[in-house]
Structure formats: structure tokens, C-alpha cells
Structure 1
């Protein structure tokens, strides 16, 4: 697949919802306490203005200025139509809830304006092409060639609580694999969901490839991209028979303008195609039933905004939310798995989702060294290990220990 060298898909139309001299674009980024990340959004906004021939301003969801309402208020006196274009990789809560909420408020504040809301970057040929180039750069750095060497790729994204967004990572990995000579292309995540990067890298190592190219699926070179690079470096140290290296994030590559231009065209012509068939806010998905309903989603968006407003003075990573109060590790190694550990894991997660008080991350674990006494469930930072746990015990572990800090004494195997 070759990169687009012409602007045919982004050609400026001669007619449409507004004349070009009466239209503007608002490019919405997330916002960061790191000004370098915010400058990336502004740089893309300037380049997009040159590409489209219409005014393009940058606005931010949080942590940076101008906010979406401020940006729209600044454009409103000069134009009659504003198209909102998202600088978001996938459609999760920000794209599905937070930006639409801001747009609805802006429409109420500026009834004279036509405000069109676009979609996220999503899956696009230009992005697949860009990732292919990022992989080639890692190959060159490692001195390997996919045509003659066994080169595996791990595409690592942030991870989301929205299964629709996570599924798009898998789709993007598959598209990158199609028609190319990689031995495999596998998706991974740096947080929130599974498989995590280290787990995926260890699994890929079993194939004994000559090299592994780890591609951060991130826009900027921030904290999470740094963690991906660190993970690739640790893997490279742990597996001397495999060369591993991490690529660069998407950055401000001009091919992103191809995608943003297409998203602008779709929004201004009322042809935005969102993934409503698999959206957890629209249909019931196993484990996410409580998320169905637009009103609930909007309420969560408001709560999310208030949470960040309360944390404006916190001098930490721009969007790594506060760590959970507890981390629960469930051994799913061979012996525990045979004794029902997967069912225990799922019941714990379901009970945690059903709880209003539970603040815990529940993940798989490799062998905890208590084979024959499992399934084993370890709760940290408390250092309490439960043994012989049955799926029916999950509600008690969540309800008593995770919610109320009351140890389920009859299940305790050991304390550390």
C-alpha cells in the first residue's frame, strides 16, 4: 500500500453546507499538562488549514486551552458553520460522550451557528501505510529485513474500557499484516485492558523470530509512549536471541492530514459513519450492560469532567488516572486453570463492575507458586492470598474485602 500523494479525497468541494469563506474547522485534541503535546495539536491544525483552505483552530477537552466552548466562541463571530474534527485514534468515551456533550452545549449557546460533529481518526489506509513505515524504520535500526528475516510486529495502543475501541486495535493489526511479509502482527495494550504489552511480547518470543518491532499506537511522545519503549527495551534484555526495538508514534506526519481531511468531508456532508452496531452505549454487550443508554453516558461524561476539574493542580502524568486502591491477581496457570480459575476471574470482574464501591484492577497472573492449593487470588497492597477460591466466592471477596476492607478469613491461604 502506498501513501497518498494527491489530495483527491480531500479536494475542496464547490458546494456544501456552507460557503468556504463562511466555514471553519475546530480540531479537538485531548489536552495535556505537557505543552509539547498541545503544540502537536496546534501544528496539525495549522497544516490542516493549509490543506483545506479554511480556518482551522485547535481546541482541547481538558488540561489545556482553549477549551471546546472557548474555541467555538472565538470562531462564532466570523463564520456561520463550524465542523468539529477529532484528533482521537479510536471511538471511546471522549468521542462518544464528551465531545458530543460539548457540541450540544455549544449549539444551545450559539443557535445561529451550524455545528457539525465529525468522527475519530479510526481505521484508514493512510494510517496503515504510516505504521508500515514506522515498522520499516525499526527494521533498519535493528539491521533486519522482513523479506529475508523473521520479523514480528506488536502494535501497542493505550487500551480502553470500551470494547469497540479495543476491537479496532485488533483490526488495525490485521490490516497491517495483510499483504506484508511480517511473520505476525499482534495487538497489545499498555494499560486498562488485555493483553498487556509484556504478556504479548513473551508470547511472541515463543515463535523465536529474528526481530520484534514494537509500534506505539500513540499520537505523541508522552509518558505512555515512554512506557512502551521501556517495555521493548526490557524484552530485548530478557531475550538475547531476539532483537527488539520500538518505533516512533504517529506524531505530525502529513498522512494524518489525509485522514483528517476525509473526516472533515464526512462531517460537513452529514455522512459520518460511527460504529453504532457494536457501541456499548447503544447495544447490550456482555459485561457492559449497565452502560447502555445515552443519558447514562452523558451523565458519566459530566462526572468525568468534574473529576478532572478537581485534579487541575495535580502535577503528574497528563491523563493517567489515579491508580486503583487495590490490585487483584488471579493465577490462571495450568493447575489453577484446570481448577476453575478463568471462571473465578470473570466472576470477580463482573462483581467489581456491579459494585458501586469497588476500586480495584483485576488481572490474570502467571504461576503464584501455590500449585494444588488454587485457584489462587492475591490482593495487593494488602498482601492477602486466597486459596481454593471458587467462582461462588467472588462476590464475597469483592463485597467484603474490596468494598469494605474485611478479609474473608476462611479463604485465606497466606498473608505477606
Structure 2
């Protein structure tokens, strides 16, 4: 059937995969599954839950379970901001699933991000705290502190500040400050101390998190400590986002963007794509991939404690073969297939071999990157694949004349 006469896509042949982070607290994992069930009722198509780590099923397991029943899977992120999991780990898992299920169309959506429904939800969280405060205390001057988890990604941290500003605009709060419970600054105790200098009547601390876990409890503790230290200010914490229906509104929008291929990411402020002061070492798709693979392996290699469902046997090496347009034209598919065949034939090779998007060396390919060694081979043909397997993957001997660069 030609493209012009192809039958339109229907919802009956599509499933959604809602990807959460995963937690050792089963209550948090159940929240993800609860949202998946509610989203299924909202969209009227199958919605399964999957997890990045610490819970099951993993993304690849969930997609493998859906593959026999549908022809399309749309991945929707249950992540508040676009940090490493959104930019690296989920795309890597999706790319690996595409290689394992070539007949399945897998579309990858965006994170929850900044959305008017989330701003309204935060406003309601403040109102709920105010309603519970002492009715005899003057509360005309209300300050809000929006507390995020904190990230090593400046783009994600910047969005916390943007969300705080949107919550402030058009409302009668005396101020709305962004802060973090870990990883970056300003931290919550410092922010609360600064807010106290302005002597508001009330301080509402909002944990900007989905579930009620370790970090939300830490935020409550810091808020109680602040309330005791500053008797002239009445301070109380709000609830996390939970499973409010407005989350479903946002998830529905992100699903629609993904299935219509209209996902819009913040590439202009992505530390993996542009050089930002202090993050120069992160620039480049290859380093993003290396970070994702290292993160994946670090969890896989942990000892099995308390039957942690995320633990699995990690391969000794991961081989990424660029199959982007230029490398593909130069013969990358043949190199990929020969690498896989040689690895299957070898009794020594312990490696996972997958496709990769562009590695930024267009014109020097086909490119093959071997991790965690950080060795890149370039200008390859299918005959070179046997040498890479027999020498590097089997015996840890780098094939020097094929090396393009090392990281």
C-alpha cells in the first residue's frame, strides 16, 4: 500500500507506556500504576507502567510485553523536568527497543515540564495549607517557597525558577522563591532564612515532587525546624502533586504531542548540545550516551539486596554503532550486523551491541564506540568488525590502526 493510500492510524492499534523513575518505596510505584490506570480511562486505550530503576517492569520488558499486541507504542514521561533521565536514559532504552522490535513504531514523548495545569495545582496546594493554618493568626502576607529535588542539569534547575515565577505572577503572594532539597543551590534552609528577613506572616513550603517519599519528609522536617527557629513566622509544608486529575491533563497533552511527532525540547539550553559555563565537559551526544550507559551499568552491577528488581547481569562492554544518515550510507548496517554475528560466534565476547544516533563524526564513519573503554573506531567496513570482536571485545586489545579517537 502506498503512503498516499495507507490506512490512517487508529487508537485501537496503539498502547501508551507511562515511564516513572521507580522507588524502593512500593507506595511510590503504586502511584505510577494508579496514574497509568487513570490515564487509560482518560485516553481509552491501553496504558502500562514502566520504571527506569528500582522497580519492575523496566522499559525494555514493558515494550516487549506490548509488542505482540499493538503496532505502535507512545512513551510518556512521568518526569517533572528534562534532566539526564529524560535526555539520556529513556531515549537510550527506546532506541534499544526499536532495534529489538523493528516492526513496532515507538514514539518518545516529553517530560511534564511547565504547564498551566501544574501552576493551578500548586496554587491549590498553597490554598489548602492556608486553610489549615491558625485562623487567629494574621496571614495577609504569604510567602511561598517552591522546593524541587535539585539536579546537575542547569536546564532542569532553571525550570524550577520559571515555575516559581509563574506561580507568583497574578497572585497575591508577597513572594515566591525557588529552592532545592539537594544537589544544587540555593538549598532549602538557606532560602527559608533569607525569606524570614522579610518577616512574612506565613511561609508555605511546597515540595515540587510527584510522590510522598524520603525527600518530601526531609522538606517537612526542614520546615518544622524553621517554624521552631522563627516564632514570628508561621510556616507549614504543602502536599506533593500526588495523583491529581490535572496531572492527567498534562500527560494527555504530552501523549498527543508524541503521537503527532510534535515534541518540543529545550535544545538551546541543553548542556549536552550547547556549551554552558561550568558544564563544558558534558557537551556532545557521545558523552550523554556514555553517561546513560554508565548509569545503567552502575545499577545493574549492584549486589542483589532485598530482591531489588532492578538488578540484572550487565555486559562487560557496550558497543554503539552509528546508523545515522551519513554512516548508514557508508555501510554502517553491514558493520552492525557483522559485529553482532562475530559476537554471537565468539565464546569470549560479553558485549551488548546496539544502534546509535549521530556520534558527531560525520564523514569519518562508519563509527563504532566501545564503552566503558571510551574507544571510538572510524572508517570501518564489515571485515573490520571481526578484528574488533576478536581483539578488543574478546581480549581487551585495542585495534590501534582503526582508532578514530578516545575519550
Same fold (TM over 0.5): yes
Distance 1:148 1:218 in 2: 26
Please state how far the C-alpha of 1:28 moved relative to its aligned partner: 0.1
Please state how far the C-alpha of 1:64 moved relative to its aligned partner: 0.5
- Structure 2 residues without counterparts, runs of 5 or longer: 1-5, 311-407
Say if 1:99 and 1:312 are closer, same or farther in 2 by CA, change over 3 A: farther
Stretches of 4+ aligned residues off by more than 4 angstroms? 144-148
Please state how far the C-alpha of 1:16 moved relative to its aligned partner: 10
Q: 2:67 aligns with which of 76, 88, 104?
A: 76
Q: 2:109 aligns with which of 113, 118, 122?
A: 118
CA contact (8 A) 2:52 2:58 kept: yes
Distance 2:164 2:101 in 1: 41
TM-score (normalizing by structure 1): 0.71
Match in the other structure for 1:59: 50
- Structure 1 residues without counterparts, runs of 5 or longer: 1-14, 320-416
CA contact (8 A) 2:73 2:104 kept: yes
**Pairing 1:294–2:288 present:** no
Distance 2:13 2:299 in 1: 34
User: 3-state DSSP class of the match of 1:213?
Assistant: strand
Distance 2:259 2:246 in 1: 21
Match in the other structure for 2:198: 207
Match in the other structure for 1:366: none
CA contact (8 A) 1:116 1:267 kept: yes
More moved, 298-307 vs 178-187:
298-307
Q: 2:143 aligns with which of 152, 156, 159?
A: 152
Match in the other structure for 1:232: 223
Please state how far the C-alpha of 1:142 moved relative to its aligned partner: 1.3
Match in the other structure for 1:93: 84
Say if 1:215 and 1:34 are closer, same or farther in 2 by CA, change over 3 A: same
Distance 1:254 1:244 in 2: 27
CA contact (8 A) 1:139 1:145 kept: no
Cα RMSD (Å)? 2.2
CA contact (8 A) 2:139 2:201 kept: no
Please state how far the C-alpha of 1:281 moved relative to its aligned partner: 0.4
Distance 1:148 1:33 in 2: 39
Q: What is the 5 A alignment of 1:1-400?
A: 18-143=9-134, 149-311=140-302, 313=304
User: 3-state DSSP class of the match of 1:155?
Assistant: strand
User: 3-state DSSP class of the match of 1:24?
Assistant: strand
Please state how far the C-alpha of 1:311 moved relative to its aligned partner: 3.2
CA contact (8 A) 1:121 1:259 kept: yes
User: 3-state DSSP class of the match of 1:298?
Assistant: helix
CA contact (8 A) 2:55 2:309 kept: no
Match in the other structure for 1:12: none
Please state how far the C-alpha of 1:310 moved relative to its aligned partner: 2.8
Say if 1:217 and 1:314 are closer, same or farther in 2 by CA, change over 3 A: farther
Distance 2:279 2:117 in 1: 32
User: 3-state DSSP class of the match of 1:180?
Assistant: coil
Distance 1:287 1:220 in 2: 31
Please state how far the C-alpha of 1:169 moved relative to its aligned partner: 0.1
Residue deviations 1:1-34 (CA, integer Å, cap 9, x gap): xxxxxxxxxxxxxx99731000000000001111
Please state how far the C-alpha of 1:101 moved relative to its aligned partner: 0.1
Please state how far the C-alpha of 1:296 moved relative to its aligned partner: 1.0
Say if 1:210 and 1:294 are closer, same or farther in 2 by CA, change over 3 A: same
Distance 2:248 2:111 in 1: 13
CA contact (8 A) 1:159 1:166 kept: yes
